[in-house]
Amino acid sequence: MVLMLIEKGYPLDEVLFYDTGKEFQAIYNLRDRLKPLLESRGIRFTQLEPVKPFDYMMFEHITKSGKTGYGWCGGHCRWGTTYKVAALDKAGRGAHVYVGIAGDEQKRLAKIIRRRQVVSFG
Q: How far apart are CA 109 and CA 10, in angstroms?
A: 20
By mean pLDDT, which of 11-20, 28-37, 85-94, 106-115 is the weakest?
A: 106-115
Whole-number pLDDT of residue 75: 61
Least confidently predicted of 16-20, 69-73, 106-110, 118-122: 118-122
Q: Could you give the CA distance from residue 90 to residue 71 in angstroms, rounded to a whole number? A: 25
Could you tell me which residue, 1 or 72, shows the higher pLDDT? 1
- Residues 33 and 25: beta-carbon distance below 8 Å: no
Determine the Cα–Cα distance for residues 31 and 117; give it in Å rounded to an integer.
26
- 56-65 contacts at long range (C-beta below 8 A, 24 or more positions apart): 57/83
Q: Give tens-digit pLDDT for 45-103.
A: 999 998 888 888 778 888 888 888 777 766 666 666 777 878 888 888 888 778 777 77
- What's the pTM value of the predicted model, to 2 decimals? 0.72
Q: Label residue 3 by pLDDT band (50, 70, 90).
A: very high
Residue 48 bridge partners (DSSP): 18
Q: What is the pLDDT of residue 67?
A: 83
